[in-house]
Amino acid sequence: MHITTELHGRGATLTPRGDIDFENLDQLRACLAGLPDTVTEVIWDLHAVTFADIAGLHLLSTPAAPAQVTLTNLTPSFTHLLEVATATFPAQGWDRHLPAPAGQGALRAAV
Domain of 89, CATH number, reads 3.30.750.24
Distances (CA, A) of 89 to 18, 19, 82, 98: 26, 23, 10, 14
Per-residue model confidence (pLDDT) at position 61: 85
Per-residue model confidence (pLDDT) at position 65: 61
The answer to whether position 81 is within a domain reads yes
Q: 91 lies in which domain range?
A: 2-97
Per-residue model confidence (pLDDT) at position 107: 46
Q: How many CB atoms lie within 10 A of CB 88?
A: 9
The answer to whether position 88 is within a domain reads yes
First to last CA, the chain: 27
The answer to whether position 43 is within a domain reads yes
Per-residue model confidence (pLDDT) at position 49: 95
Query: Is 17:46 a contact under the CB 8 Å cutoff?
Result: no
pTM: predicted TM-score of the whole model, two decimal places: 0.83
Helix (H) or strand (E) holding 84: helix 76-88
Ranges under pLDDT 50 in the chain: 103-111
Q: How many domains does the chain have?
A: 1
